[in-house]
Structure 1
Amino acid sequence: MTVAQNSAFSSLNANTTTGNSTYNQNIIYMTSSGFNYYDNTPALVKNTKFGTYTKVSDNPLTIKYTINKGVKWSDGTPVNASDMLLNWASSITKYNDPKGVNFTSVYAGTGFDLITKTPEISDNGQSITFVYDKPYVDWELQPIVNMPAASTWELAGIDSKKGKAAQDAVVKAIQDNDTATLTKLATAWATGFNFEGMPSNKAALVTDGPYVISKLVKNQYVTLTANPAYNWGPKTHVSKITVRFIADQTAQVQALSNGEVNIIYGQATSDTVKALSAVKGVTTTTTPTSDYEHIDLTFNNKGPFDPATYGGDAAKALLVRQAFLKSIPRDQIIERLIKPLASNIKPDNSQTFIPGQDGYDASVAANGSSDYATLDNAGAKALLAKAGVKTPVTVKFAYANDNPRRAGEFQLLQAAAKASGFNVVDVGKPTADFFGANGLGSGKYNYDATVFAWSYTSLARTGAESQFITGGNSNFNGYSNKTVDADFKALETEQDNAKQIALLQDVDKQAWGDAMSMILFQLPDVTAHSNTVENVSDAPLVPNVFWNFFDWTVKK
């Protein structure tokens, strides 16, 4: 079976700042396994064939995870507690220090920080027990197994140990707080699993899921072959899945029409929908997703939105940011680019809730988003005049320039913002580079504003924490607000639903008040598949259409 997605695969580790993309997560989902996953309702489904977890105590919150015997990495090494211990170590702030051991994990500063005591290993290395200092609201949704400990050791090049000996060495380094060894492991964990073609070191290819990567051609396709040993999760029905990287949606439709691909999925346009209507033998669906498009402004690059540009004058920088948000033609973007896909799409007016979610309406009523409800060139001009800045104000704008929708968004913004007194300069990159090692989140991409989508992989209350908190590894724009930091810290341990909502509503209000970002809309997911394949269905959470790849079948 062959599937088309918009952009290339580049990493088997989506928990790093540079590997955390939907396009990587799709492939990782099909090549990995774990304690649970979401179906398309979305409800959390436990995978007891992989292992089990038990709440041992509520006070202190204590969770014991046990991986079943027989669960193996694709090189034959057992999946065990060493892998769970490495995942914990890679996720805590202590080991995400730019001046020391630095795994660069997107989970740094989140719930794993509440586990300050090194977790204990038991049951001959099959179990691990996490003891939280305080109850953590999203404990069940944290990733528990990520990268293989033995492969990480091998990629670090510390010595020749492999398999169990390497796993034991990783455990010892963590238990002994051996920072010299952990520094090497962190580098290997963060970079060793990044590759755009087949890696020379096969340790980088080791996975624990139903498929393994058997072929990868840079910027073209990845082929996944069924793992013959896999029996610790849902049974698959297709021996080989190839995912082609086709940025142009029109080309995706043509490939589907020609029978070159069976499923297409990604950043659809009105032309895509029109073209699909003419293709016979194809089923097309449009599904609301949890992904949301947004424009972020950079606070820490000495650009037009950074107080440092104005000698530390935060009030002046805020006025310029507010002026820019007033210059975003959100209604035009939705009307021209999105409504042809889904006519009921409306603007999204919350930084922390999606439309229809409990708390959204009340948050929107009080968060200040109404100040930016429509394009307001006159209001923007007045704010720039009040700031006393020379116009036009140059804004370097980053986006995936081979994505037709994002290109359209840039063009509409550039024209609208010009009337306010902004010179919006194109610094876009192709998708593979935009999300690549030197792109978004790398610290090597110089831009003042950017557009992309955040994708929810779970229903975790703290799911967006690393995007907002000071120094968060998904906080790509240098945003910092002490109240927001405190709100998320409180949210981590808050058990009352109403109070959880109130904390997120305050984050929403603070973010709009700081003019840090403009939320545009929820992305509609347009998926089409040939009628020669069965059991294809979409889901609101990432990995979207891939959620039940194990059910896919090809008609004989």
Structure 2
Amino acid sequence: MFSSMVAIAAIALAGCAAPTPRIVEGSRLTIAVPGPFTSANSTTSLGTNTANEAVAELTASSFSRENGVGALVNNASFGSVQKVSDNPLKVKYTLSEKAVWSDGVAVDASDLLLAWAANSGALNTVAAKRDADGTVTNQDALNKGVYFDSNAAGSGLNLVTQLPKISDDNRAITLTFTHPFADWERVFPEQLIAAHVVMQHAMPARKYSADAAKRALVTAVQNDDAGALNPVSIFWNHGFDMTNLPSDGSLLVSSGPYVVTGAKENDSVTLTANEHFAAGPLPRVQTITLRLISDPLERAKALAAGDVDMMTADATAPLLAALHDAKNVTLLHSPASAYEHLDLSFASGGPFDPKAWGGDASRARKAREAFLLTVPRAAMLDTLVKPLQPKPAVRDSFMSVPGADAYDDIVDGNDSSRYAAVNLVRARSLLASIGATKPLTVRLLYPASDALRSAEFAQIVASAAQAGFRVTDASSAGWKQRLGDSSYDAALFAWDAGDASVNASESIFGTDGARNLNAFSNPNMDALFEQLDAEYSADKRKALMTQVEKQLFDDAYGLPLYQLPSVTAVDSTVISGVGAQPALSMLLGEYADWKPSASSPAPR
């Protein structure tokens, strides 16, 4: 049981100067985003969707955020992060006095302590059990125990098993990690949940004030009080679920530039500038409405009709055609944060699995290399991406985004050049060397009814056939559910590279990674990730990342192909200052650059 106690400082905002307003009175902006909106807590497993995350991007402040090429941009107005020691790794997270909830209550260490409790799993007394469809089968046990249903498993807070230490002024928290962790600057989720609101709703009979609620929550966490943490975890999991505007406004408290002031199920979410906000760049637009439109073509139609002012989506030929003739619409092209890639399965029983060769891993590796040498990456880029995006490029790194500081150096040393062009001669030679006298059948999984992937499939079929492969169509509408099973030998899909942390890469390529979907396992790779986790020097990390990537290419793991093309469309008569960004979250993160026109549109 945790038993240490700390005093909670009074919640006083004295001395916090009011932010200088930049709001253009009456200004409005309507942005089309994929729906539905289902929760004001985007950090639960059920709260993870695009609309919820879009709302969180505008209503939450954090220590840092990633830019378009994965670099971390610190937010000193919200707080600071300081490494206190290396062995053991101790990190102090200090909140600025400018960090204030929209109800006037300070964001303080109790909010960070709740974030640790909810996202570390350290206080959970029971785990969810799921059937093959992902349905929870032990809900009764979860309801009786302590179970925070966080989507942040493996983010780094899971490595903090000791009770965090709260500073005397209640503005800082120090975490002690069980082992080195290279991504220590970004362990807290970008959206914090207000501790006082959670505790007030978890125990309504106590009628806690905000100050008393914070003290009670800290005490419950420090004492590992399962009786108190049970209702806390239940409320944290589901108390912020909503599709319409709740009658209780405390469920919408915000630490970011905007506050939710309206919500209509499957229609829209309205956000109004937060008058208490000073923990980051100040907005100019007074009211933002997020229109919930899942179909990109319908978003384009709404923009052309003047029903929305801005949208972003993956660029497709039909979408660009729909936007091309829209009046006053500016198109901003950018590579998306998601990158297309081809994964090969190491345990499907097919030609890339050692079992198909009597356990001979060398022959399976040569079969994988031969197949990858037939993939026409340059032709796919020219025919499928160039018509949609100016100056696209093949991606030659698994871990680094083109344009990132480390990208060129990593590519120079990772041996990706062996796959720079189709090499049918080399592919045939490899197949001959392993005794493949008949065409090898490769079952290729990809999303059904997807024009881009269908075109990629057709090009791979034609090229691979010339070397001695018979590629068959294993496309499926339920392709996501099939990832990781043995029903396919190769898969075409995209990884969202918005998270550029070492931890995110390890989750894909590490033997026990949560997102390892092809049974890839290499002890040398796991050892390299252990070194990466413990390395804080940027140059040494880059060298280790290069070694990781060289191993991936040596093992013929698969191939990165290219960043998916994206487009942002803006009504230039309504807003200016909008830049091309690779993801919706990054677009919304640039809210402070947006300049509303003199004549703002009427409410819609």
Does the 8 A contact of 1:35 with 1:51 survive in 2? yes
1:279 counterpart letter in structure 2:
A
Question: 1:461-487 deviations in whole A, cap 9, x for unaligned?
Answer: 655333333333344444433322322
Equivalent residues in 2 for 1:439-458, closer than 5 Å: 449-457=490-498
Does the 8 A contact of 1:538 with 1:545 survive in 2? yes
Report the CA distance between 1:527 and its aligned residue.
Answer: 1.5
Which piece of structure 1 moves more, 317-326 or 101-110?
A: 101-110
| Corresponding residue SS for 1:503 | helix
Change (3 A) 1:69 1:194: closer
Report the CA distance between 1:460 and its aligned residue.
Answer: 4.8
Q: Does structure 1 residue 498 correspond to structure 2 residue 539?
A: yes
Q: Does structure 1 residue 35 correspond to structure 2 residue 63?
A: yes
Change (3 A) 1:18 1:197: closer
2:550 pairs, out of 509, 516, 523, with 509
| Corresponding residue SS for 1:421 | strand
1:422 counterpart letter in structure 2:
V
- Percent identity, aligned pairs only, is 32
1:118 pairs, out of 136, 159, 163, with 163
Does the 8 A contact of 2:333 with 2:390 survive in 1? no
1:480 counterpart letter in structure 2:
S
The separation in 1 between residues aligned to 2:505 and 2:70, in whole angstroms, is: 18
Does the 8 A contact of 1:151 with 1:206 survive in 2? no
Change (3 A) 1:110 1:280: closer
Does the 8 A contact of 1:197 with 1:217 survive in 2? yes
Q: Does structure 1 residue 2 correspond to structure 2 residue 33?
A: no
1:241 pairs, out of 257, 271, 289, with 289
Does the 8 A contact of 1:297 with 1:448 survive in 2? yes
Q: Does structure 1 residue 470 correspond to structure 2 residue 499?
A: no
The separation in 2 between residues aligned to 1:155 and 1:314, in whole angstroms, is: 58
Change (3 A) 1:362 1:235: closer
| Corresponding residue SS for 1:88 | helix
Report the CA distance between 1:530 and its aligned residue.
Answer: 0.7
Does the 8 A contact of 1:138 with 1:461 survive in 2? yes
Does the 8 A contact of 2:337 with 2:496 survive in 1? yes
The separation in 2 between residues aligned to 1:13 and 1:325, in whole angstroms, is: 42
Report the CA distance between 1:27 and its aligned residue.
Answer: 3.3
Does the 8 A contact of 1:88 with 1:112 survive in 2? yes
Report the CA distance between 1:335 and its aligned residue.
Answer: 1.4
Question: 1:41-86 deviations in whole A, cap 9, x for unaligned?
Answer: 9876554554455566677644142353872267x87643233123
The separation in 2 between residues aligned to 1:356 and 1:477, in whole angstroms, is: 28
Which piece of structure 1 moves more, 375-384 or 137-146?
A: 375-384
Does the 8 A contact of 1:34 with 1:47 survive in 2? yes
1:466 counterpart letter in structure 2:
S
Question: What's the TM-score, normalizing by structure 2?
Answer: 0.72
2:379 pairs, out of 317, 332, 346, with 332
Q: Does structure 1 residue 525 correspond to structure 2 residue 566?
A: yes
| Corresponding residue SS for 2:393 | coil
2:184 pairs, out of 135, 139, 143, with 139
2:56 counterpart letter in structure 1:
I
Which piece of structure 1 moves more, 496-505 or 403-412?
A: 403-412
The separation in 1 between residues aligned to 2:197 and 2:506, in whole angstroms, is: 27
Q: Does structure 1 residue 544 correspond to structure 2 residue 586?
A: yes
The separation in 1 between residues aligned to 2:342 and 2:591, in whole angstroms, is: 32
Which residue pairs with 2:92 in the alignment?
A: 63
Change (3 A) 1:505 1:50: closer
The separation in 1 between residues aligned to 2:232 and 2:359, in whole angstroms, is: 39
Change (3 A) 1:447 1:104: farther
The separation in 2 between residues aligned to 1:156 and 1:392, in whole angstroms, is: 61
Change (3 A) 1:467 1:195: farther
The separation in 2 between residues aligned to 1:444 and 1:10, in whole angstroms, is: 30
Which piece of structure 1 moves more, 118-127 or 158-167?
A: 158-167
Which residue pairs with 1:80 in the alignment?
A: 108
Which residue pairs with 2:472 in the alignment?
A: 423
Which residue pairs with 1:211 in the alignment?
A: 259
Equivalent residues in 2 for 1:121-520, closer than 5 Å: 121-123=166-168, 125-132=170-177, 137-143=182-188, 146-148=191-193, 150=195, 171-172=218-219, 174-177=221-224, 192=238, 197-198=243-244, 207-209=254-256, 210-212=258-260, 214-215=262-263, 217-218=265-266, 221-226=267-272, 228=274, 230-233=276-279, 234-236=281-283, 237-249=285-297, 251-288=298-335, 290-299=337-346, 314-315=361-362, 318-319=365-366, 321-375=368-422, 386=434, 393=441, 395=443, 397-399=445-447, 401=448, 404-413=451-460, 420-429=469-478, 449-457=490-498, 460=501, 464-520=505-561
The separation in 2 between residues aligned to 1:407 and 1:94, in whole angstroms, is: 45
| Corresponding residue SS for 1:265 | strand
Change (3 A) 1:55 1:347: closer
Change (3 A) 1:217 1:127: same
Larger radius of gyration: 2
1:4 counterpart letter in structure 2:
A
Which piece of structure 1 moves more, 76-85 or 16-25?
A: 16-25
Change (3 A) 1:38 1:318: closer
Does the 8 A contact of 1:109 with 1:472 survive in 2? no
2:92 counterpart letter in structure 1:
I
Report the CA distance between 1:508 and its aligned residue.
Answer: 0.6
The separation in 2 between residues aligned to 1:183 and 1:393, in whole angstroms, is: 53
Does the 8 A contact of 1:306 with 1:317 survive in 2? yes
Change (3 A) 1:70 1:376: closer
| Corresponding residue SS for 1:344 | coil
Question: What root-mean-square deviation, in Å, do the aligned CA atoms of Structure 1 and Structure 2 show?
Answer: 4.7
Question: What's the TM-score, normalizing by structure 1?
Answer: 0.77
The separation in 1 between residues aligned to 2:487 and 2:230, in whole angstroms, is: 28
The separation in 2 between residues aligned to 1:299 and 1:225, in whole angstroms, is: 48
Does the 8 A contact of 2:43 with 2:150 survive in 1? yes
Report the CA distance between 1:270 and its aligned residue.
Answer: 3.8
1:535 pairs, out of 577, 583, 603, with 577
Does the 8 A contact of 1:456 with 1:541 survive in 2? no
The separation in 2 between residues aligned to 1:144 and 1:374, in whole angstroms, is: 41
Change (3 A) 1:184 1:422: farther
Change (3 A) 1:506 1:241: same
The separation in 1 between residues aligned to 2:525 and 2:44, in whole angstroms, is: 23
Change (3 A) 1:135 1:122: same
| Corresponding residue SS for 1:426 | coil
Which piece of structure 1 moves more, 155-164 or 40-49?
A: 155-164
